[in-house]
Amino acid sequence: GVLTDPRARGQGVASGLVAAVCLRELRAGAPRVSLHVDRDNARARACYVRAGMREVAESGLLLRDA
């Protein structure tokens, strides 16, 4: 998971980190990056979508394709 210091929340720190990790893996040859997030965690889901991921299942699966 990603935990952001409360003083840094809302500044794009977590979504920037997630985006950078996804990009690194995709450039290294991964066909996609996926993760699961609690479907009740709206803040985390929004963070991952800002990082370029897309929701593909109600269960909380998010993907970012190459």
User: Residue 22 — very low, low, confident or very high, per pLDDT cuts 50/70/90?
Assistant: very high
Q: Decide if 22 contacts 64 (C-beta within 8 A).
A: yes
- pLDDT tops 90 at residue 25: yes
Whole-prediction pTM: 0.81
Tens-digit pLDDT profile for residues 31-58: 999 998 988 989 889 999 999 999 887 7
At 36, which helix (H) or strand (E)? strand 32-36
Specify the pLDDT at position 56.
86
Strand (E) or helix (H) holding 62:
strand 61-65
Type of residue at 3 = L
- Model confidence at 4: pLDDT above 90: no
